Structure 1
Amino acid sequence: MVRLRRGYADGPFGQIHFWDGAVGKPLVLVHQAIMSANEYDHVFQPFLTRGIRPIALDLPGFGLSDPPATPPSIADYAAAIPALLNALGIERAAIGGHHTGALVANEAANLYPDRISACILGGPLLIPDNVRQALIDDIVTREKAFRAKPDAAHMVEVAKLRERYAAGTVSLDRITEYVVQAMQAYAMGAYWYGHAAAFAYRQEAPLIALRQPTLILTNTGDMIYQAALEAHRLRPDFAFHAIEGGGIDILDQHPVEWANAAADFLQGVDY
């Protein structure tokens, strides 16, 4: 597993931590909640091999980035993107995101069209209101109530949940890394911020507003796979690629296919 060069940029809520591949055509990668830039560990090398410069940031309150003082919106998270590009001296870059990160990518592309040349949406979130409310009642409520427990029982809870999602397709060592990433967000006080912002974000209008070349990158085993199909129905002009199987951990389950699908798309984009 290749490790990129670390760096920090001054962002809207303090310092933003990032990993930078240093060479190639720049692609900013935005992680899902409640993880960090390390979600992309296993796609860094495939991107570099394809001549793409991966730049993965920790969203504010996740990983090693400073947290916002109050719960942010998706637009607040998106404000970290031009700050990161400025710090790296990059005028324009492609952007890609997974789940919550896909929403941030969508919003950043709309808010900063002069800085974003192409967009990769790894799991858009077009869902009916009843499903949205069920997710809020389940995930956000549970995350708001999350507290440290004796004998690290709270960490065991996270590990069991992630093992259930992975269904034996991800190593226990990697599951441990997922737990560490979640605990970083908990230590920052931002544990529930990402999902709360994601489920409050209504992506239909922002999706329709996108003017950059865009790829919808999904997998058939993703719990929000149907939302990707709906996004493609709304924007049939977008490129579309579905990896067979997998789940929410597709970047570890099929990293090379994920990276190659993104790289194939970017190969046809002038940026």
Structure 2
Amino acid sequence: MTTPRRGYADGPFGQVHFQHLGEGDPVVLLHQAPMTSGQFDNVYAPLAARGFHAIGIDMPGFGLSDPVPFVPGVGDYAKAVPPVLNALGISACAILGHHTGALAATEAVLQFPDRFSALILNGPLPITEAERQDFMNGLHRRELDYKAKPHAQHMVELFDIRDDLAEGTISDARLSDYVIQAMVGKGAYWHGHHAAYQYRHDETLAAIEHRTLILTNTGDVIFDLAQRARAIRPDFAYAALEGGGIDIVDQQPEAWADAVSAFLRS
């Protein structure tokens, strides 16, 4: 099979939607905001081909997972992972998160250490207080104002933002899918980035005791933060793909899967 199977688990805030493919060693995949487990559409099969059971989870409020009934924090997203593992009969596994998902993956290993064997941080976020305030005064305010506009102009704007970030490397069909992923969730549009920028990753990085890989790519908009995380935890394994952007799993799926596999098999 090359198409993931889908399922639901009963989580702390309602139903948690997930999809999974493969029969090998399990690895959970947590998406960036504001996307879904569909972010990993193009790497489920490569991971399965490398002997992994790839499990993508829609974090609460994203995709088809029920939302948190209050403004969520990163720790709330992490609470959705164990119910999925329970539903699949998995006692422990590796976990990978991309951008906001990397923060939720960090919280998952800190809250539920016995459930995880290894951690991959695909885009850590150890920001300063000044950078946090810049977010609150900038992107946060714009996302608070994000609302439906006539003729779906709000979707066109989101498409154009993602197109600019991708610099022509992502097809119109996939960019359209990004817009759908961003729109389908039942949580407020601004919740994901708000949770990410309230999180103190510089502090929680220091608390991680699991075997960990910092995975990044030189074209990522937060590539510099991966270097900052590496300075905080020089004992972590490190891998950097050349080029790409925030859509690295679509731009370089085979190379990305190779990097994940190399760490988990080491």
* TM-score, L = length of structure 2: 0.97
Q: C-alpha distance in 2, partners of 1:3/1:33?
A: 23
Shift of 1:157: 0.9
How many residues in Structure 1 have an aligned counterpart in Structure 2? Answer: 266
Q: C-alpha distance in 2, partners of 1:177/1:68?
A: 24
Shift of 1:69: 1.1
1:136 counterpart residue number: 136
1:8 counterpart residue number: 8
Question: What SS does the aligned partner of 2:214 have?
Answer: strand
The match for 2:193 among 185, 192, 195 is 195
Unaligned ranges ≥5, structure 1: none
Q: Percent identity?
A: 53
1:222 counterpart residue number: 220
Query: Is 1:263 matched with 2:230?
Result: no
Question: What SS does the aligned partner of 2:96 have?
Answer: strand
Amino acid at match of 1:60: P
Amino acid at match of 1:208: A
Shift of 1:22: 4.5
Query: Is 1:241 matched with 2:234?
Result: no
1:91 counterpart residue number: 91
Amino acid at match of 2:40: Y
- Kindly report which structure 2 residues correspond to 1:1-271, keeping only aligned pairs within 5 A, or say none: 2-185=2-185, 188-268=186-266
Per-residue CA distance 1:177-228 (angstroms, 9 max, x = gap): 000001112xx14211110000000111211111111000001111111110
Amino acid at match of 2:211: P
Unaligned ranges ≥5, structure 2: none
Cα 1:4–1:30 change in 2 (3 A) is same
Shift of 1:233: 1.0
Q: C-alpha distance in 1, partners of 2:195/2:143?
A: 13
Question: What SS does the aligned partner of 1:221 have?
Answer: coil
Amino acid at match of 2:36: S
Question: What SS does the aligned partner of 2:176 have?
Answer: helix
Equivalent residues of 2:2, 2:21 under 8 A apart: no
Q: C-alpha distance in 2, partners of 1:2/1:184?
A: 24
Q: C-alpha distance in 2, partners of 1:190/1:86?
A: 28
Moved over 4 A (4+): none
Amino acid at match of 1:78: A
Q: C-alpha distance in 1, partners of 2:187/2:84?
A: 23
